[in-house]
Amino acid sequence: MLRIVSSEHVVFGDVTYHAGGAYGPRIQPDYQLVAVVAGEARVRVEDEQVLLTAGEVGLFLPGFREMFRFSPARTTRHLWCSVNGGVVDASLAAQCARVVAEVGRVRPMSQRLAQILEIGLSVPGEAGARSPGLLRSLGLAALHACLLDAEPRSRIREPDALRRALDWIGANLDQPASLAVLARAAGVSTAQLVKLFRRHLGTTPMRALWTARTEHGVRLLRETGLSVSEIAWRSGFATPFHFSRWVRKLHGMSPRDLRAKAWGEG
């Protein structure tokens, strides 16, 4: 398998190597994210040894000599995004260098980053040449998403169960939910999930869920013309009243007043 979508400054790719495959050595020309979907990659970066396994993403910086060796026992599939340094400003470049130095190159790939990579790969090939700004924006978004995943909360590596619960909340904003459903998604008991949320986030699982759903609804209020009832339904609330109660709790006003204020009518 090989998919490549590119513009002058950004490349998104998806490739599968047979067992024992290799790539390099080469001097890395870009800021590059490499996300392993299956198999593994052992990367030598100058004198540093890096292991990428399935579900992990590595951040590689320009100017370093690299050699990729893929699993000797099975095929390895990985996605990548390369962003030319010419479109990376000084602040973003410094953030990338700091994260590699302080946190390391490798981290679990978040659902957010995986979605950006897939969106980049879904852009028609000819669109990369006609609308290079689209791929440039997606490439920079991928770098920012990777850095966001390395922020302090990620550095302390919250338990996997907590991360799975948060990922489920973000991916299922309009689906029926309960504490038991969240616990199953996290792979722990309901009591353990409550302890994890209180210890690491200072809240409860259900409050975190309804807060996320309310903020999703608030974004729809500000950015769309959907009715309050439709927004409540799309945000996972059984009734507009339930949605309105949470909007008032978090923002101190009704959904209609919040929309009017956002639209300059209040």
Give, for 98, the enclosing helix (H) or strand (E): helix 90-102
**Tokens 């000599």 sit at which residue?**
65
* Contact indicator for 196, 188 with CB cutoff of 8 Å: yes
Name the pairing type of β-strands 31-38 and 76-83.
antiparallel
pTM: 0.61
| Closest by CA position to 206, among listed 219, 193, 217 | 193
Residue 239, helix vs strand vs coil: coil
Cis peptide preceding 176, ω within 30 of 0: no
- Helix (H) or strand (E) holding 83, with range, is strand 76-83
Q: How many separate helices (H) and strands (E) can be counted in the chain?
A: 12, 10
Q: What is the pLDDT of residue 157?
A: 46
- What are the start and end residues of each CATH 1.10.10.60 domain in the chain? 160-262
pLDDT at 255: 95
pLDDT of res. 77: 94
- Give 2-155's CATH code, choosing from 2.60.120.280, 3.40.228.10, 2.170.130.10, 3.30.1360.20: 2.60.120.280
Instruction: Determine the pLDDT at residue 88.
Output: 92
CATH 2.60.120.280 location in the chain: 2-155
**Fold for domain 160-262?**
Arc Repressor Mutant, subunit A (1.10.10)
Question: By the 8 A CB rule, do 102 and 147 touch?
Answer: no
List the chain residues with pLDDT less than 50. Answer: 153-157
